[in-house]
Amino acid sequence: MKANGNTILVTGGGSGIGRALAESLHASGNRVVIAGRRLALLQEVVRANPGMDAVELDVENGASIGSFSLGLCARHPQLNVVVHNAGIMRAEDLRSGSTHLPDAEATIATNLLGPIRLTAALLPHLLSQRTATVVTVTSGLAFVPLATFPTYCATKAALHSWTESLRYQLQGTSVEVVELPPPYVQTELTGAHQASDPRAMPLAEFVAESMRLLSASPTPAEVLVDRVKPLRFAGKGDYHGFFQAFNDSMAGTRH
């Protein structure tokens, strides 16, 4: 991916990793559009970063994605990068019968169907650009699930698989496909406690390392910061032992 001169959509750009990536991409000389459910929050980010643009988008609402995409491309005809970052992460007790299903269904609609639908809507435009990039923000938990968050982990595993298929199908086109799986990062994705958890990677460090890798030439298919590699490559060793030890180490926490 070019380091600068792009027009970039970042979904979930109002907070956390999305905001930090958007601000770093903006500071690097790109035109950045942030999208999310909370327009007031997006506008705060724009005020703090003059030159950014903000557009309201609820990726869980599939019916709105077509009109959103048409409006976005009309407003920003040079759009050539999409960062699928919007996501939710909710704990679920699978022993509770059907009480967890609303959270599970919302997670699937946001984390998996959202990127699939938005890519489908934007891909004809991206293919018309001289160079373009689709970035999927998955998770280290795509490779080793944290059992407290079963549907979140399942959607990220599915998004990883879908990303590989998209990359394969787009070989030979102008669109490259990049996966960015974060480790456990200090954000408020699961609550305020996560932002200060010493076990989590500081957000600024994660974004700085990710930006260095994204701007490498050629761009790696998977942007892997060092802190995520134990999860990404857990299957290379004793996966089942790693899974048990990882989940035991996180037991009793809500992150």
Enzyme catalytic residues = 152
What tokens were used for 188?
Answer: 């408020």
Q: Which residues contact 134 (CB under 8 A, 6 or more apart)?
A: 81, 82, 84, 119, 126, 166, 175, 176, 177, 178
CA distances 18 to 42, 70, 168, 187, Å, are 11, 22, 26, 10
Question: Residue 113, class by beta-carbon neighbours within 10 Å (0-12 exposed, 13-18 middle, 19+ buried)?
Answer: middle
- C-alpha span between 251 and 245 (Å, rounded): 10
- C-alpha span between 137 and 77 (Å, rounded): 24
- C-alpha span between 199 and 164 (Å, rounded): 30
Chain centre to alpha carbon of residue 248: 26
Q: Is 28 helix (H, G, I), strand (E, B) or coil?
A: coil
Q: Is the preceding peptide bond at 220 cis, omega within 30 degrees of 0?
A: no
Q: Is 82 helix (H, G, I), strand (E, B) or coil?
A: strand
**Are 181 and 166 spatial neighbours (Cβ–Cβ below 8 Å)?**
no
The candidate with the shortest Cα–Cα distance to 25, out of 50, 8, 47, 42, is 8
H or E element at residue 67:
helix 65-75
